[in-house]
Amino acid sequence: MRYFLNLFAFVICILSMLTCSAQIAPGSAIELGAGLGRGIVGKIKDGKKKKSIESSISEHEINGSMIKVLRVPENKIISDAKSYIVRIQNQLDSYYELYKNNEHLTIPYYYSDINTLEALDKDWATEYYENELKEYRNYEQSSHRQKSISKTAPKLQREQSKKELLIV
């Protein structure tokens, strides 16, 4: 807090010197001060955002791999794209529940909410969501392959036993 008070005093001092100058009009000095204030507030907000993201990272085991997942509680989300973040996190949570219960996953090839989130908030750590979604897709593909193998395995066994009967 002391840092901000000193910074504020410094900015006021600079502004007063600028307004006394013949080259700069008083109105532009005020605009300059307002711009500096917005920059400081923006950095504070980004710092809080970064801290809330870093404190909300955990790990889940998905398809045999340990994946870092990001789940920021709704009341700690500092973003203009809050609704997208909440929707993405809820969708990924539902995928995780299906995965844990060994149920079938149907994941769309193109998940537009992540792209929209990236466009609305370039500072949000979307790579965690993308990596998690990628693992669910890998799981979906491997479980689909496994099901198709289990369907064809009895058929292959029957053909193998027919060949053995013919040989004997």
Judged against a pLDDT cut of 80, whether residue 63 lies above it is answered with yes
∠ at Cα 128 (102, 55), nearest 5°?
A: 105
Judged against a pLDDT cut of 70, whether residue 130 lies above it is answered with yes
108 pLDDT band (50/70/90 cuts)?
A: confident
Q: How many residues does the chain have?
A: 168
Nearest to 7, CA basis, from 27, 30, 33: 33
CA distance 6 to 80: 31
Residue 49 has a CB neighbour count (10 Å cut-off) of 19
Taking only the tens place, the pLDDT of each residue in 67-88 is 999 999 999 999 999 999 999 9
Q: Which segment of 44-48, 64-68, 118-122 scores lowest on mean pLDDT?
A: 44-48
Taking only the tens place, the pLDDT of each residue in 6-43 is 555 565 655 555 555 445 445 554 554 445 444 444 44
Could you tell me the pTM of the whole model?
A: 0.62
